[in-house]
Chains A and B, each alone.
Chain A
Amino acid sequence: DTEVTQTPKHLVMGMTNKKSLKCEQHMGHRAMYWYKQKAKKPPELMFVYSYEKLSINESVPSRFSPECPNSSLLNLHLHALQPEDSALYLCASSQRLMDLAKNIQYFGAGTRLSVL
């Protein structure tokens, strides 16, 4: 099983709303990632968690707030977003962050977010 599950698949929100994206994996992976993908572009790394601790924050605005409540779950809390934040948000996981051979990333299907 190499499945990473993301919910919801689609989300429409206003600029004053608060919403959350969820990601779940049951592969025993201890590294989890959030990426943002704009249309016709490659994914851009936002955050990396390793053993439930934030390891990398790629200078993402504070209106995006990640959370890793346990080793299987990763959330992305959204507040006061802008229309330019509309994108496909992808979650990924890998066995271990600091081990190149075990760092193959498996992606979820993504949440397509539209900010009005």
Chain B
Amino acid sequence: GDSVTQMEGPVTLSEEAFLTINCTYTATGYPSLFWYVQYPGEGLQLLLKATKADDKGSNKGFEATYRKETTSFHLEKGSVQVSDSAVYFCALIGNNNDMRFGAGTRLTVKP
């Protein structure tokens, strides 16, 4: 079945550092891909999405590009802030319309 694999955390960075969180997927057909963010004690917020190959999703300085050739959707940000500390989930919705989440990556940004 469809699945998502994320890099294991936790990830700890200093403020203004460059962030990459790797995400790869396995799916038949052409899934839609998502990054969700969960701040401490809260629900999930949609961060960005891409619905077809080569689409780039972007929001709040975060970007991810749907790469079908490498089945990847890596999350990047050029300069992280303390307020970006959260858990980030990569997810997909495939042909069966089920959402599959990765395990989540905890990011801590230190001043």
Contact = CB atoms under 8 A, between A and B. Distances in A.
A105 B46 CA distance: 8
Interface residues of A, number: 25
Interface in B34-93: 34, 36, 41-46, 49, 51, 89, 93
Nearest to A56: B98
A110 B102 CA distance: 19
B5 to A, nearest CB: 12
B73 to A, nearest CB: 15
Contact of A107 (B44, B49, B93, B95): B44
Contacts of A40: 104, 106
Nearest to B98: A45
A90 B101 CA distance: 14
Nearest to A96: B97
Contacts of A98: 97
B93 A90 contact: no
A42 interface: yes
A81 B4 CA distance: 31
A48 to B, nearest CB: 8
Interface in A63-116: 88, 90, 92, 97-98, 100-101, 103-110, 112
A43 interface: yes
B56 to A, nearest CB: 16
A42 B101 contact: yes
A78 B42 CA distance: 22
Interface string B8-44: 0000000000000000000000011010100001111
